[in-house]
Chains A and B, each alone.
Chain A
Amino acid sequence: MPTPPTYNYLDAEALGRLKNLPLAARHVVEGFFAGMHKSPHKGFSVEFAEHRLYTPGADPRHIDWRVFGRRDKLYVKQYEEETSMRCYLLLDKSASMGYKSDGPLTKLEYGSFLAATLAYLMAYQHDAAGLITFDDKIRHSVPVRQGASGLRALMDSLENTEPGNETNLGEIFHQLAETIKRRSLVIIISDLFDDPDAVVGALKHFRHKKHDVIVLHTLDPAELTFPFDDISRIEDMETGREITSDPRAFRKGYLEALATFLETVRGGCLSSQIDYAVAETSMKFDTFLGTYLARRQRLTS
């Protein structure tokens, strides 16, 4: 069990409400210890998986003598092994994640709350979690570890995360997909403000590597509604590009482009069996997580 939360991004009340909602892997993942998740490795679990022909060297204790009696061939029983889950929390710390409109939290802070809470839940269910923060490069990496020490390291990393530079999601994701060797749960917390086709391609790379992927698309309400009225000089937080205009004249076009973007990302996730949810920062993060985890649990079961 982790130490009582003393970090900014750990909310005791939220954790209390969420700890009964396990974050279960929907796909098989590889872990270090026997746990609640299905492991691709056949081992000594009680749950029978299949038979295979006996080959010399195999443990004779697992020979199924009943089958031998019926078929006159030696078969060995194989069992599914339950394992602890390896989870990578990929937190986008690009400059755009530093945006907030009227709400109390920036997207990065909101994402940090999500990451911290999820890490805590992992630790609570004896899973191993790691954290990778990135903008145009991978900025910080907390290795996947189980237990309180791993959680502490992760929390310390979150506390020190500040918005960084531009985003280069596609390249980063491809790089990570190659880096993460064992099949894991990859939770991406990002606004995904990059070329949507590149992003979707990179997400598919994760799936190609057999990872279970969750995309928590973190967006500010103002990004969804573009509520500005007065003529403004709009400065892009990442590129510094400035556009002076009447936002009312832009709103329609902006919303159409945003909808297209969201649809592209969502469609790409759907087609690759990637779990996708929009996390709007105006919603309390525990409410969002509670709703999301409950539905995920239903789907998984």
Chain B
Amino acid sequence: MEFLRPLFLLGTLSAAIPLIIHLSRSRRTKKIRFSTTRFLTDQFLRSYRMSRIKERLLLLARMLLFALFAIALAQPFVRPANQPLMISEQPRTVVLVLDNSASMGYIEDGVSLFDRARDAAIEILESLEQGDRAAIVMAGRRAAGPEVVFDEPTPELGDVRQVLDTVQVSDLDTDLSRAVARAEKLVLADSREDSREVYVLSDLQDSGWEVFDESEDGSGSLDTSLFFVSVRPEQPRNLSVTAVQYAAARPMVGVPFTIRPRIHNHDHETVSSTLQLYVDDKKVGERQIEGLQPGRWVVSRFHHTFETGGWHTGYVQIHDSTLAADNRRYFAFEVLDAVHILAVNGAPSSVRRLDELFFLQAALGAAAAGEESIQLDIVTPDRLANRDLSNYPLVILANVESMPTQAVTELESFVDSGGGLLIFLGDKTNAAFFNQAFSGSNRLHGGLLPGPLIGLIGDPDSETQLTQIGKFDGNHVVLSSFDDGRTGSFSSINLKACWDMDPGDASVLMRTDSGTPLLCEHKFGEGTVMVFSSTCDRDWTNFPVRPAYLPWIYRLIGYLSQDTQGHRNFFHTGDVVPVPVSATSGLRQLLVRKPDGNIGTVGTTDDPAAPLAFTGTSQAGIYAMYPPGRPELSEAFVANISAYESDLTLLDDVFAAAPSDEAEAESQSREARVESAIREVLLPGRPLVTFVADPGDLGAASLRGRSGWKLWNYVLMLVIIVALLEPWIANRISLKYYGKPREIHVPSPESARVNQQLQRPVSPRREVERQEAGRP
């Protein structure tokens, strides 16, 4: 006998309660010296001893009542093997968890795993009879959770069959754990006392099971039978593009752009294959992957130069016949051409090398071979207010002392709408002005600065160097190339002075070696503000004349010049694509063209962090987002399948290969070990788990899995019987020994009445006369 909720067996200890009460009463025995015990006859004592036996029966009944109730709560059941005749005749409620993740597209012998899973599902469906109910849960990972095809199990089995015939494998990741939780919840939706069954039809990828807080979806019923049907390839083999690295956040026109795809061999043999790069649907590159060993990966490299600006899309593709879904990795870039940037010069000079923007201009001019792809429009601070900022993706403030209030307001509006702002501080910087106009709760989003300027550090006029560049965030797209020294090093850069500022909640991307924030990134509405706390010329630092300055400023400006959507255009299938919302222009209406050509819409969400989002990213490929009627303004993003889908490490292999006990491993079959591991590791506390290694055995396994007796109903009936018996025994004892005395000649044994009755003086003469007369 097994128990569904063995913890409740602790409740059997409550059976001791009547015993404790009984014993405590017995222990309270008092000694009474009484005048006589002659009325407590031996016959009565014998009867009393019998009553003690009956009392013990009563005690036993009460203890039994507690114990049985606890056992009933523990839900006992017996599951004898090979006794299909014990199958319950109850109607069945079945939920089919169909894994439609990308890995189920694996093709073996010309048939995909998904088709085999579908066939198994159909077999289960056909075993149902009239009155049975069924539902389907798709196990693809979506932000909103696994897709539930029917809100509750339906008796219309034809509809379920129709759905099974039409569903297709998707490009989604696997979310088996939540799908099972949903299915358990669904199977409980029907309050009938059905045989509850959940069939999980999946390749059981190891990565597809995520341990999560079950309270999110609610726990299932312990008496639900769970069948894990393994639909797996005989010997999984797969070659996939699991990731692509891009050399820059945003390619520039005419600049070679590096694309580095990572190829992973999940096969058990060494493989060779061809890797291809497609840009705008044209093959632009091809590489051979030779001798990639099992379980190893390799990073290849393509260089591509974009001839024109604007959005370009493409993919890296490798040839593999088994699992097609992970053969491609999509990308989408907005290539920058002639970017016009507005620079506000706070310290202009007629001597060119002394001008604040001299080195910045030189760096940007040197970067472009031939044509300058980044052009600077320069104004003075007092003329900023009259410029139309909407023509620029980025505004640079270089050593600005102050500016008109209107200009600050326009700058706020510009950044909030998605513009970029790069601030270089310097000797002209008026800290009081900046702290008032660029920071504070009275400003939009708390001000353009991440926090107030605290004070100047170091002496600009000194010949000695104050500090050097210390830690920097190598993970940030702007600085990633400096992490490995490919594009230069910050090691020889010295600083004589810089401003100390409070970074607030902004990201500090660079610090001096004394820890002072040097470069901060601050999100402002849809746009981004970056503050460099030193100068962009040589006044306070030798940075502009060091080799790292050119790639640094180029990447910094390129990063800030791109559209806010631009650097967030890579997603996984099933992800929610957030759309930035401007505080000034409000929610935008946008359409999305999906990879299959269908059109979706951007909708509102309950997430306050992303009130506007697109959720229909179930297909891998390139998506275009644009305002209604304006497809020419489209911005692209891509959705790729998760790299986990390429990893065909399967749960049953993992569980079978890692037995908890050697002896146990020898004694148990592979199926039994996997089944036991699923029960203990994946679904602890769910005893009714059956693992089916071969979908062909599903019918017999289902029959076997549903066999057995659920005993708790019988135990509960027993509880009711004992509960009825208990008062009967108690009454019997009570009536016999505690009830009203029978045939008592004295009307009442109470002292006063007895006294009254018996104290009456007797006149013997009258009594005799009365008796002789026959009167009462």
A235/B34 in contact, CB under 8 A: yes
Q: Which of B44, B739, B749 has the most CB of A within 10 A?
A: B749
Give min CB distance, B502 to chain A, whole Å. 79
> Number of B residues contacting the other chain (C-beta, 8 Å)?
48
Whether, in the assembled complex, A243 has its beta carbon less than 8 Å from a beta carbon of chain B, the answer is yes
A299/B761 in contact, CB under 8 A: yes
With A253-B47, A255-B741, A257-B41: A236-B31 Cβ-Cβ less than 8 Å: no
The docked-state distance in angstroms from the alpha carbon of A243 to that of B30 is 11
The docked-state distance in angstroms from the alpha carbon of A283 to that of B759 is 11
Chain B residues in 8 Å Cβ range of A249: 48, 51, 733, 737-738
Whether, in the assembled complex, B742 has its beta carbon less than 8 Å from a beta carbon of chain A, the answer is yes
The docked-state distance in angstroms from the alpha carbon of A273 to that of B764 is 4
Chain A residues in 8 Å Cβ range of B26: 231
Per the 8 Å Cβ criterion, residues 680-730 of B in contact with A are none
Whether, in the assembled complex, A162 has its beta carbon less than 8 Å from a beta carbon of chain B, the answer is no
Which residue of chain B has the shortest Cβ distance to A216 in the bound complex? B759
Which residue of chain A has the shortest Cβ distance to B49 in the bound complex? A245
Chain B residues in 8 Å Cβ range of A241: 37
Stretch at the interface among B2-10, B164-172, B559-567, B750-758: B750-758
The docked-state distance in angstroms from the alpha carbon of A119 to that of B741 is 40
A273 contact from B34, B51, B743, B768, Cβ within 8 A: B768
A235/B761 in contact, CB under 8 A: no
B48/A255 in contact, CB under 8 A: no
Whether, in the assembled complex, B212 has its beta carbon less than 8 Å from a beta carbon of chain A, the answer is no
Chain A residues in 8 Å Cβ range of B749: 224-226, 255, 258-259
B763 contact from A254, A259, A299, Cβ within 8 A: A299
Give min CB distance, B352 to chain A, whole Å. 113
Interface string of B595-639 (1 = CB under 8 A from A): 000000000000000000000000000000000000000000000
B25/A269 in contact, CB under 8 A: no
Interface string of A203-220 (1 = CB under 8 A from B): 000000000000001001
Whether, in the assembled complex, A7 has its beta carbon less than 8 Å from a beta carbon of chain B, the answer is no
Give min CB distance, B729 to chain A, whole Å. 14
B746/A262 in contact, CB under 8 A: yes
With A221-B751, A273-B768, A277-B761: A256-B32 Cβ-Cβ less than 8 Å: no
Stretch at the interface among A67-75, A109-117, A136-144, A289-297: A289-297
Give min CB distance, A8 to chain B, whole Å. 22
Interface string of B26-53 (1 = CB under 8 A from A): 1011111111111111001101100100
Whether, in the assembled complex, A107 has its beta carbon less than 8 Å from a beta carbon of chain B, the answer is yes
Whether, in the assembled complex, B767 has its beta carbon less than 8 Å from a beta carbon of chain A, the answer is yes
The docked-state distance in angstroms from the alpha carbon of A231 to that of B761 is 38
Which residue of chain B has the shortest Cβ distance to A300 in the bound complex? B763
A237/B762 in contact, CB under 8 A: no
The docked-state distance in angstroms from the alpha carbon of A254 to that of B744 is 11
Chain B residues in 8 Å Cβ range of A274: 764
Whether, in the assembled complex, A124 has its beta carbon less than 8 Å from a beta carbon of chain B, the answer is no
Which residue of chain B has the shortest Cβ distance to A255 in the bound complex? B749
Whether, in the assembled complex, A13 has its beta carbon less than 8 Å from a beta carbon of chain B, the answer is no
Which residue of chain A has the shortest Cβ distance to B51 in the bound complex? A249
The docked-state distance in angstroms from the alpha carbon of A277 to that of B738 is 29
Chain A residues in 8 Å Cβ range of B751: 221, 224-225, 280, 282
A234/B738 in contact, CB under 8 A: no
A232/B30 in contact, CB under 8 A: yes
Chain B residues in 8 Å Cβ range of A282: 751, 755
Whether, in the assembled complex, B775 has its beta carbon less than 8 Å from a beta carbon of chain A, the answer is no
The docked-state distance in angstroms from the alpha carbon of A243 to that of B44 is 12
Whether, in the assembled complex, B486 has its beta carbon less than 8 Å from a beta carbon of chain A, the answer is no
Whether, in the assembled complex, B765 has its beta carbon less than 8 Å from a beta carbon of chain A, the answer is yes
B35/A278 in contact, CB under 8 A: no
The docked-state distance in angstroms from the alpha carbon of A256 to that of B41 is 11
Whether, in the assembled complex, B740 has its beta carbon less than 8 Å from a beta carbon of chain A, the answer is yes
Whether, in the assembled complex, A285 has its beta carbon less than 8 Å from a beta carbon of chain B, the answer is no
User: How many A-B pairs with Cβ below 8 Å?
Assistant: 171
Chain A residues in 8 Å Cβ range of B759: 277-280, 288, 291-292
Which residue of chain B has the shortest Cβ distance to A98 in the bound complex? B35
A260 contact from B47, B745, B761, B768, Cβ within 8 A: B745
Chain A residues in 8 Å Cβ range of B750: 224-225
The docked-state distance in angstroms from the alpha carbon of A254 to that of B34 is 13
Give min CB distance, A191 to chain B, whole Å. 7
Give min CB distance, B741 to chain A, whole Å. 5
Which residue of chain A has the shortest Cβ distance to B38 in the bound complex? A193
Which residue of chain A has the shortest Cβ distance to B743 in the bound complex? A256
A257 contact from B30, B34, B39, Cβ within 8 A: B39
A239/B37 in contact, CB under 8 A: yes
The docked-state distance in angstroms from the alpha carbon of A234 to that of B759 is 28
Whether, in the assembled complex, A228 has its beta carbon less than 8 Å from a beta carbon of chain B, the answer is yes
With A277-B761, A283-B755: A230-B741 Cβ-Cβ less than 8 Å: no
A251/B34 in contact, CB under 8 A: no
Per the 8 Å Cβ criterion, residues 13-64 of A in contact with B are none
Chain A residues in 8 Å Cβ range of B746: 258-259, 262-263
Give min CB distance, A271 to chain B, whole Å. 8
Whether, in the assembled complex, A65 has its beta carbon less than 8 Å from a beta carbon of chain B, the answer is no
A235/B33 in contact, CB under 8 A: yes
Whether, in the assembled complex, A197 has its beta carbon less than 8 Å from a beta carbon of chain B, the answer is no
Give min CB distance, A236 to chain B, whole Å. 4
A296/B761 in contact, CB under 8 A: yes
With A235-B32, A263-B745: A292-B738 Cβ-Cβ less than 8 Å: no
B741/A233 in contact, CB under 8 A: no
B762/A253 in contact, CB under 8 A: no
B738/A275 in contact, CB under 8 A: no
Which residue of chain A has the shortest Cβ distance to B764 in the bound complex? A273
With A259-B745, A274-B764, A280-B755: A244-B37 Cβ-Cβ less than 8 Å: no
Question: Ordered nearest first, which 9 A-B pairs have the shortest CB separation?
Answer: A273-B764, A99-B35, A257-B39, A221-B751, A278-B758, A96-B35, A249-B737, A236-B37, A255-B749
Question: What are 16 of the A-B contact pairs (CB < 8 Å)?
Answer: A224-B751, A233-B32, A235-B31, A235-B34, A238-B35, A245-B40, A245-B45, A255-B741, A258-B39, A261-B39, A272-B764, A273-B768, A277-B760, A277-B761, A278-B754, A280-B751
Contacts A277-B759, A280-B754, A299-B763 known; list 12 others, CB within 8 Å.
Answer: A99-B33, A231-B26, A231-B29, A232-B29, A234-B32, A235-B32, A243-B37, A253-B737, A253-B741, A273-B768, A277-B762, A278-B759
Chain B interface (Cβ within 8 Å of chain A)?
25-26, 28-41, 44-45, 47-48, 51, 733, 736-746, 749-751, 754-755, 758-765, 767-768
Chain A interface (Cβ within 8 Å of chain B)?
96-97, 99, 107, 191, 193, 217, 220-226, 228, 230-239, 241, 243-245, 247-263, 266, 269-280, 282-283, 288, 291-292, 295-296, 299
